């Protein structure tokens, strides 16, 4: 296990008191995910540091799956201001806490999960996400 994920898993384990139930951890993870989505929306609607301009993703029909990435857009204009960046980092940190809590409660190694997923994505490349 890498040092950072090992340390984080240990810290989360020591901090799990009220949310030691898998049901609590699952519902808090879902709530934290909604908070991340809301924080992104607030960057557009409250702050305005980001703008979302979404249209159908344009790409030539003859483009191969591996070529499509160069045509895809994020639909994001602008960049996070310092306040929104701080809020996003806090919300994502909270999400990571509950993801890690679920791993702990199910006796899963977060680093092992990340490593396996990285290997899967590396091996399959663009075909892994279709």
Looking at residue 98, its pLDDT comes to 97
- Cβ-contact 98, 92 below 8 angstroms: no
Tokens for 93? 């940190």
Which pLDDT tens digit goes with each residue over 5-38?
889 999 999 998 877 899 999 999 999 999 999 9
| Residues forming beta bridges with residue 52, ordered by sequence position | 76
- Taking all residues of the chain, what is their mean pLDDT, rounded to a whole number? 91
Looking at residue 87, its pLDDT comes to 98
Smallest Cα–Cα separation from 10: which of 94, 101, 98, 91?
101
pTM of the model: 0.85
What is d(CA 110, CA 10) in angstroms, rounded to the nearest whole number? Answer: 11
Name all domains of the chain by residue range, CATH numbers in brackets. 3-129 (1.10.287.1080)
What is d(CA 42, CA 47) in angstroms, rounded to the nearest whole number? Answer: 6
Angle between helices 110-124 and 3-15 (to 10 degrees): 140
Looking at residue 19, its pLDDT comes to 75
- Cβ-contact 81, 69 below 8 angstroms: no
Looking at residue 123, its pLDDT comes to 86
Looking at residue 61, its pLDDT comes to 86
Looking at residue 126, its pLDDT comes to 62
Residue ranges of the chain with pLDDT lower than 70? 1-2, 126-130
């Amino acid at each position: 296990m890498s040092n950072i994920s090992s340390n984080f898993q240990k810290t989360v384990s020591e901090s799990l008191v009220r949310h030691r139930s898998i049901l609590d951890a699952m519902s808090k993870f879902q709530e934290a995910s909604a908070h991340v989505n809301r924080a992104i929306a607030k960057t557009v609607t409250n702050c305005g540091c980001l703008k979302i301009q979404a249209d159908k993703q344009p790409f030539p029909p003859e483009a191969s799956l591996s070529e499509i990435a160069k045509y895809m857009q994020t639909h994001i204009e602008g960049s996070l201001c310092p306040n929104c960046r701080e809020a996003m980092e806090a919300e994502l940190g909270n999400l990571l806490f509950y993801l890690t809590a679920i791993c702990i409660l199910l006796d899963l190694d977060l680093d092992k999960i990340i490593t396996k997923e990285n290997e899967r994505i590396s091996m399959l490349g663009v075909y892994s996400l279709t």
